[in-house]
Structure 1
Amino acid sequence: MRDTTTVGDELTETQTAGTSSAGVDAAASPAKKERAASLWSDAMRDLRRNPIFLIGSALVLFMALVSVWPSLFTSVDAYKPCDLKDSLLSPSGDHIFGTDLQGCDVYARSVYAASNSIIVGIATTFMVLVVGIATGLLAGWFGGFVDTALSRFAEIFFAVPLMLGGMLIMSGLGKGNAWTVSLVLATLGWPQIFRIMRSSVLANKHNDYVVAARALGADTWRITIRHIMPNAIAPVIVVGAISLGVYISAEAALSYLGVGVQAPEISWGLMVSDAQARFLQAPHMLLFPAAALSITVLAFIMVGDAVRDALDPKLR
């Protein structure tokens, strides 16, 4: 027969162990529920609470839908021949934005013009980011001759003003469209992203996590892609988001000057250019496309400013 004292001690130990285990589990469960904090997760949480970002994003999505599916917003095909007898009509029920000198519906042309402007903004920003990030990563990580060669090459393009260089190149190319304008703007715009990415890589390449990864045997490619780029790309994303609106404005300016998107294509810049000579006679020809351009550029700048605030630790 077992001693009752021994049995009592075993029961007490079992109860104590169970209580301790439950306490450990209870203490550990909140820790399991906590999500790991990071720059990107904190930024997304801040953006979801930022009314400027939400309004800007809504406007951006709306303009993107207009550019992709213009027939959803107007039943008039802006590329069909217009009726001259409807020339310079004021806004009315039949033409809510009025008509231009050729009798074309200003509202329909404003809707269809969004496509070229959005294409230029997105395509130019994409090309600028790809080239700028790749070259800046190489220059900042390898240094030496690679850094010197890429930096001097970038300075050649950086010394040329965006609008002046765009005018000269587009004048030489002749008739332009949204894709040629995007290529020209990207050719002149990538050095800005290159310099930002290079300086960000230089600031991160000697951090402890890079030294630890190298000590554990990670190769150069893995360190660059998995460790350096995710930690260096935040300022580049901010500048790219803001620059998208700038490139839309640049396309409108080039089209206004007659060297960007040209007829029979439709552009807000072209519409403003056609309307300037008759502003006092028919102000609606200028006001509506100019308002669409301003709202689109403002929307992208709002999104860029909100992203900058969310990713900048100094503003937290």
Structure 2
Amino acid sequence: MDLALDEAESVEGIEKTGPRGGTGPGEKPRSLWSDAWHQLRRNPVFIISSLMILFLVIISIWPQLIASGDPLQCDLSKSQQGSSPGHPFGYDTQGCDVYTRTVYGARASITVGVCATLGAALLGSLLGGLAGFFGGWGDALLSRVADIFFGIPVVLGGLVFLSVVTSTTVWPVVGFIVLLGWPQIARIGRGSVITAKQNDYVQAARALGAGNGRMMLRHVAPNAVAPVIVVATIALGTYIALEATLSFLGVGLRPPTVSWGIDISNAASQIRNAPHMLLWPAGALSLTVLAFIMLGDAVRDALDPKLR
């Protein structure tokens, strides 16, 4: 029985690699993931976006590498002043250094985006995968629950849910985004699992007596995870923008947490008198969201042969 299952898995490998194969006779065919990595390394969009994200991650972990000041140290005598030596972005209304706050603001945004994406991806892929694999009443129940969450306006839901939270940490915002973000990934994961479990190698493994756990982990999940990764990568940038929106409205992150959304909210009323207060945090937010969307597009193109 084990020998037969191993033969079925070898057939699975042939079907997954398909006609891409190696470049010469006798060369071992590349798998889906190695072929995708081969494509990504040659994609300038992936390289540029990856370098941007790597830089953002580094400064979010060690902001003192490029900003030596304290983002909470302010001097009212310098309120709304423009750039000066050592302070290239000028000062905000409270006399805080805009450059230092912009650098330190990356930490909150990246933390919210990464944690919310991981939470939504794990929860959504688990529920969607189980529903798609087993079907039945569990699948129907998940679909109806997901429809309910899809009907909740995100910003309005954030205003209602987060307005009663008094914590100044990032975790209430992360929890809210996970709560409203998992249905999208669950639907993608469900559809991918339904498609994957209809492949010939899965049917062969089932006919040879493989249990549900073995089929799910060895055959279905590795071939259904690619769309989830693509959607989660693009959603990460969306979640960062959502955090900034909620913070701008006063229900997301709150002082003393340093956030781009908070700084944009404080600068909105002074855009005519001190446009530099709005320009730099808004520019950093836009570049961050753009980087993750570009990364998601590059990963999607690499994992979907139809788009090559």
- Provide the C-alpha distance between the structure 2 equivalents of 1:207 and 1:63, rounded to a whole number of angstroms: 40
Aligned 8 A contact 1:251 1:260 in 2: yes
Aligned 8 A contact 1:175 1:259 in 2: no
How many angstroms does 1:175 deviate by?
4.0
- Provide the C-alpha distance between the structure 1 equivalents of 2:101 and 2:199, rounded to a whole number of angstroms: 53
Aligned 8 A contact 1:177 1:260 in 2: no
- Provide the C-alpha distance between the structure 2 equivalents of 1:289 and 1:78, rounded to a whole number of angstroms: 13
Alignment of 1:157-168 (within 5 A): 157-168=149-160
In the alignment, which residue of structure 2 is the partner of 1:61? 54
**Mapped pair 1:263 → 2:255:** yes
Deviation per CA, 1:167-188, whole angstroms, max 9, x where unpaired?
2111122344322111101100
SS of aligned partner of 2:164: helix
Q: Which of 39, 42, 56 lines up with 1:46 in the alignment?
A: 39
SS of aligned partner of 1:91: coil
Task: Kindly indicate which of the two structures has a greater share of residues assigned to helix.
Answer: 1
For 1:60, the aligned partner's letter is I
How many angstroms does 1:259 deviate by?
0.3
- Provide the C-alpha distance between the structure 2 equivalents of 1:144 and 1:101, rounded to a whole number of angstroms: 59
Q: Which of 273, 280, 297 lines up with 2:289 in the alignment?
A: 297
For 2:33, the aligned partner's letter is W
For 2:42, the aligned partner's letter is R
Number of aligned residue pairs: 285
Q: Structure 1: which 5+ runs fail to align?
A: 1-29
- Provide the C-alpha distance between the structure 2 equivalents of 1:275 and 1:156, rounded to a whole number of angstroms: 36
**Mapped pair 1:107 → 2:99:** yes
How many angstroms does 1:309 deviate by?
0.8
SS of aligned partner of 1:218: coil
Q: Which of 180, 197, 201 lines up with 1:205 in the alignment?
A: 197
Instruction: Indicate the structure (1 or 2) with the bigger Cα radius of gyration.
Output: 1
In the alignment, which residue of structure 2 is the partner of 1:315? 307
- Provide the C-alpha distance between the structure 1 equivalents of 2:198 and 2:59, rounded to a whole number of angstroms: 46
How many angstroms does 1:295 deviate by?
0.7
In the alignment, which residue of structure 1 is the partner of 2:118? 126
Aligned 8 A contact 1:176 1:261 in 2: yes
Aligned 8 A contact 2:248 2:265 in 1: yes
In the alignment, which residue of structure 2 is the partner of 1:72? 65
In the alignment, which residue of structure 2 is the partner of 1:23? none
Deviation per CA, 1:51-87, whole angstroms, max 9, x where unpaired?
00000000000000010000111110113x3111111
How many angstroms does 1:123 deviate by?
0.3
SS of aligned partner of 1:173: coil
Deviation per CA, 1:191-228, whole angstroms, max 9, x where unpaired?
00001111111112121111111122211001011111
Aligned 8 A contact 2:168 2:255 in 1: no
Aligned 8 A contact 1:120 1:247 in 2: yes
In the alignment, which residue of structure 2 is the partner of 1:231? 223
For 1:172, the aligned partner's letter is V
Q: Percent identity?
A: 54
In the alignment, which residue of structure 2 is the partner of 1:25? none
37-46 or 269-278, which deviates more: 37-46
- Provide the C-alpha distance between the structure 2 equivalents of 1:149 and 1:292, rounded to a whole number of angstroms: 41
- TM-score, normalized by length of structure 2? 0.90
Cα RMSD for the two superposed structures: 1.2
For 1:255, the aligned partner's letter is S
Aligned 8 A contact 2:168 2:257 in 1: no
In the alignment, which residue of structure 1 is the partner of 2:207? 215
- Provide the C-alpha distance between the structure 2 equivalents of 1:60 and 1:154, rounded to a whole number of angstroms: 31
For 1:282, the aligned partner's letter is A
